[in-house]
Amino acid sequence: MNKIRVFVAGACGKMGMETIRTILSQEDMEIVGAADIRNQGQDIGTILGMSPLNMQITGQITVDKLQNSKADILVDFTNPKSVFANAKEAIRAGVVPVIGTTGLDSAEISELEELAKEKKVGVFIAPNFALGAILMMKFAEETAKYFKHVEIIELHHDNKLDAPSGTALKTVEFISQNRQTMMQGHPNEYEKIPGSRGGNINGIHIHSVRLPGMLAHQEVIFGGLGQTLTIRHDAYSREAYMPGVLLAIRKSYKSKDFVLGLEKLLD
């Protein structure tokens, strides 16, 4: 059996390390490269607290580096500033990028899609790899048929760079399938402190919380006459994302499709 050859960018980050540990335990996958701006030249196994894997951590992602590793998939958990350049290098190398970093804007996504079509290479981008988070979004989409008033509170660790989260933005996209843009609250409402009501997309307010001790959490609160309905998802460890990461790798292997969202891969 040919194993899926995976190169991991952001290998020394918490998500990157958890991804490598998970892939090492899979019979149908193997790690063929690890890149990070930290710990370059060190063995990734040592960084993981394991026996050496005879694989040095390298720096910037390049076409040559990916082709020399014979990678099939580049899993990228870096940051919004790096992921766009990494994805373009992967596509040019004929390697499918599986992107878990949020922060790509619509223009960057469109550019990646055009390049992927030109090179006939698949791309997978997901704001969230937790299956429970995908179900939360789908439940919110269904609820919006009956409750039109809704606000979102997303809570993450204090080292998260972007706000609001990609998951919150994707949730608005789901809800908007069954809800037209509308103004909520009193028409004469005003903010004593600018930003008190959070961000506003399609008339839906999003509130971002960043605190130590948290990982990734989101509440979607619907309001109706005499009642509210709250849909909440909590990720307490990065293990929560691994089933989704593995699903994305397997579905993206040899794919030529440009896919946005883990929900597209669910049966």
160 is catalytic: yes
156 is catalytic: yes
Listing DSSP states for the chain in one string gives -PPEEEEEESTTSHHHHHHHHHHHT-TTEEEEEEE-SSSTTSBHHHHTTSS--S-B-B-S--HHHHHHHT-SEEEE-S-HHHHHHHHHHHHHTT-EEEE------HHHHHHHHHHHHHHT--EEE-S---HHHHHHHHHHHHHTTT--EEEEEEEE-TT--SSS-HHHHHHHHHHTTS------S-TT---SSTTTT-EEETTEEEEEEE-TT--EEEEEEEEETTEEEEEEEEE-SGGGGHHHHHHHHHHHTT---EEE-GGGG--
88, 156, 217, 233: the active-site residue:
156
138, 148, 160, 205: the active-site residue:
160
- Catalytic residue annotation: 156, 160
